[in-house]
Amino acid sequence: FYAISGVDLLLDFLQAQSDKMNIYDKTGQLILLNNEGTISAMTGHPEFANKKLSEKLPELNDILPTVKAGRELVDLKGDKLRVVVPLQIGVTTTPWAACILIPQAKITAGATSQALKQAVVGLVFAALALFGLWFLASRIAQPIQAAARFANQVATGQAVDKIAISSEDETGQLIRSMNSMLDSNNTLLQTRDDKDRIQMSVMKLLNDVSSVADGDLTRQADVSNDVTGAIADSINVMTAQLRQIIGKVQSVSSAVNNSVSETQGQTALLAHETEQQAAQIIGTSQEVAQMAHSIKEVSATAESSKRVAEQSLITARDGAAKVENTIRSMGELRDQVQETSKRIKRLGENSQEIGEIVQIISDVAYRTSVLALNASIQAARAGEAGRGFGVVAEEVERLSKRSTEAARRIAELVKTSQASTSEAIASMEENTRNVVESTTFVQEAGQALAKMESVNGQLAEMIGSITMMAERQAHESENVAQTMLQISQATQGTAEGIKQSVSTVNQLAELADDLQGSVASFRVSKQAASAPSNTRALNGKARAALKA
């Protein structure tokens, strides 16, 4: 007989474990397959248990060779990512496999973090561009304001100093021209008429410059042939460039404002998704911890099975030893039965010899009886002389009858003894056959116990291997649970960082609104780019008049 010890895993247990898995917010599925392609469990489909994969999910038939070969597989087919991982059960050569199906849309959702990074980098560059434009506008506006104050002081007849030249661009040329105007004004204003005329030109120029200072960049100063012509030309060139700069600033600020608005929505959505992902990771880590606990329980069960198998091995060895003793005892009993059978056969043969002797005695008694009868007849013929011989003949006849009766009784006893001996011989032969058959059965039982001992030894080794693998898997599951906890903490930190980024983006949006409001106070003409070409033509004449 054979004895087998093993560990059973119910399909309901595997189905319950697969249903507990929360992969990408319940959108992923776990399929457990044996080496023959039979579904043991599938997330959300308990009715598929113990069904062929080719019947229920024919689109996955191409993974069956990978499952049979015990290889790993990661590919993208259709709209799902497929991950196949072999599962080694004990020391068998037919591994199982775990197949995970994840929608591609859920996986690509993680790319939003990269989009957030790009948006943040874009916002930083936009902020730097706004700062650069503000700095450039300040550098342009400050000299204009200084020139306006200078012109106002000159117009009111106040004593003024020359303006310091800090650049060589059109603004620097404007300041240089105004300094030249101051020199020329100080030289030429010797008469009242000249002073009045120059003052009127300066007042007119001041009026034009005041409009520019108020933000009206559509105004252009009149270029005359007097000393203010060069200044007016420079102011027109500067205003044209300022119109271009302000137009670019307005476009950039509008684009930045739109980008910030979009980034606000994306950042808020990303923060919400990150919080949900953190919650999902926490749930998954708890499920992994529960799975580790279940694996520990399986390991404990395997350890108990190992002890039972070892005890069964010891019991099988004791049984084998007892069977060996029984075989030896049965052999001795067989020899004794065979010897007894031989003796009973010899007793039967002796009974037959006794029967033959009894037959001889019967014959002798019969002949003696005949002789006694003849002697009685002869004695009767002899008369008185044969009376004594007749008495002897009668005694001989009675002795013959007694001998005949004794021989008959002995013959019956011998016959009965022979029948009993025959029955005993048949019984002993039957017992001998039974002993031989029992010896054969006991030998077969001994061989079966020896095989069972070998099987139990292998089973103990297999259960020991399963126990070691279960302990290793429990340790790895604990490591996975710890890693999931660290990922959860990192995700929570990322969520906090995204919240701070949302606050920063909101502040940047307020700054962009302020900048757009500041730039909106300027009025820019659509023909701003054509202004320099209209004014540069008079620049030479104005400079010539100033020199004259």
Q: What is the pLDDT of residue 137?
A: 61
Has residue 414 been placed in a domain?
A: no
Q: What is the pLDDT of residue 523?
A: 65
**Last residue of some domain: 60, 76, 111?**
111
pLDDT band for 254, please (50, 70, 90 cuts). Answer: confident
Q: Which helix (H) or strand (E) holds 228?
A: helix 228-382
Q: Are residues 120 and 40 in the same domain?
A: no
Digit-coded pLDDT (tens) for 436-469: 777 777 777 777 767 777 776 777 777 777 777 7
- Cα separation of 469 and 165, whole Å? 84
Residue 389 in contact with residue 379, Cβ under 8 Å? yes
Has residue 474 been placed in a domain?
A: no
Q: Are residues 143 and 259 in the same domain?
A: yes
Range of the domain at 80: 11-111
Q: Are residues 151 and 220 in the same domain?
A: yes
CATH at 99: 3.30.450.20
Has residue 80 been placed in a domain?
A: yes
Q: Are residues 210 and 276 in the same domain?
A: yes
Has residue 515 been placed in a domain?
A: yes
Other Cβ atoms within 10 Å of 447 Cβ, number: 12
Decide: pTM greater than 0.75: no
Q: Are residues 18 and 161 in the same domain?
A: no
Helix axes 11-20, 228-382, angle to 10 degrees: 170
Closest Cα partner for 418 from 498, 352, 508?
A: 352
pLDDT over 70 percentage in the chain: 55
> How crowded is the C-beta side of 16, counted as CA atoms within 13 Å?
8
Has residue 263 been placed in a domain?
A: yes
Q: Are residues 88 and 142 in the same domain?
A: no
Q: What is the pLDDT of residue 542?
A: 35
Work out how many domains the chain is built from and give that number.
2
Q: Are residues 47 and 88 in the same domain?
A: yes
Q: Are residues 31 and 80 in the same domain?
A: yes
pLDDT band for 26, please (50, 70, 90 cuts). Answer: confident
- Which range, 34-38, 120-124, 346-350, has the best average confidence (pLDDT)? 34-38
Q: Are residues 133 and 99 in the same domain?
A: no
- Cα separation of 534 and 536, whole Å? 6
The DSSP 8-state label assigned to residue 523 in this structure reads: B
**Last residue of some domain: 57, 82, 111?**
111
Closest Cα partner for 181 from 173, 170, 191?
A: 173
Other Cβ atoms within 10 Å of 339 Cβ, number: 11
* Mean pLDDT of the region 305-325: 74
Q: What is the 3-state secondary structure (H, E, C) of 323-343?
A: HHHHHHHHHHHHHHHHHHHHH
Q: What is the pLDDT of residue 189?
A: 54
Q: Are residues 143 and 188 in the same domain?
A: yes
* Tally of helices (H runs) and strands (E runs) in the chain: 11, 6
Has residue 73 been placed in a domain?
A: yes
Has residue 139 been placed in a domain?
A: yes
Residue 194 in contact with residue 188, Cβ under 8 Å? yes
Q: What is the CA 505 to chain-centroid distance, rounded?
A: 37
List all residues 6 or more positions away from 299 whose beta carbon is below 8 Å from its beta carbon.
467, 470, 471, 474
**Last residue of some domain: 111, 130, 165?**
111
Q: What is the pLDDT of residue 519?
A: 62
Q: Are residues 131 and 252 in the same domain?
A: yes
Q: Are residues 144 and 217 in the same domain?
A: yes
Digit-coded pLDDT (tens) for 51-65: 998 898 898 889 899
Has residue 244 been placed in a domain?
A: yes
Residue 99 in contact with residue 81, Cβ under 8 Å? no
The SS3 assignment for 105 reads helix
